[in-house]
Amino acid sequence: MANNNDKIICRCEDITESEVIEAIGKGATTADEVKRLTRAGMGHCQGRTCRRLINQLLASKLGQSPEDQKPVTQRSPLQPVALKILADS
């Protein structure tokens, strides 16, 4: 788990590099699987900050080339919006 040298990969969900590597060790081969195992990418920014870092880790651990990597499913709303604003829209 987290140690002092561990880098934070997903700031929104507070997920470290070693947690992502652990998920890859459990068999995750895509950013979608890493997201579901660790929550990295499920936070407030919806992965805008951490997705690139996760893909880099997958690439370096599994020898994937960036072209092989499947894009993560994008879900709306792309910016967090208050319930009240949505209800009145």
Partner 1 sequence: MANNSDIIIIGGGIIGAATGYYLSRAGCRVRLIEKGYLCSGSTGRCIGGIRQQFTSEGSIKLMLESVGHFSNMKEELGIDVHWHPGGYLFLAHSQEKKEAFLSNISIQQSFGLKDVRWVDAYEAKQVAPGLDAQGLLGGSYCPSDGQAYPFAVVSGYVERIKSYGGSINTFTEVAAILQGGGRVRGVRTAAGAEYQADVVVNAAGPWARDIGQMAGIEVPVEPERHEALITEGVDYLNIPMLVDYRADGGYFQQFRHNGQFIGCYSPVPNVPGHSTDSSYQFLNQMPRRMLKLVPALAPVKVIRQWAGSYENTPDGNPILDRTPLEGFFVAAGMCGHGFMLGPAMGRLAADLILNHGKVPPVAEFALERDYSRQEAMK
The torsion region of residue 16 among left (phi > 0), alpha (psi -120 to 50) and beta comes to beta
Phi, psi values for residue 87, rounded to 5°: -65, -35
Binding mask 56-85 for partner 1 (x = CB under 8 A): -------------------xxx--xxxxx-
Using CA atoms, how far apart are residues 16 and 13, in angstroms rounded to an integer? Answer: 9
User: Please, which of residues 30-89 interact with ligand FES by CB under 6 A?
Assistant: 40-41, 43-47, 49-50
Q: Which residues bind partner 1 (CB under 8 A)?
A: 26-30, 32-33, 36-37, 42-44, 46, 75-77, 80-84, 86-87, 89
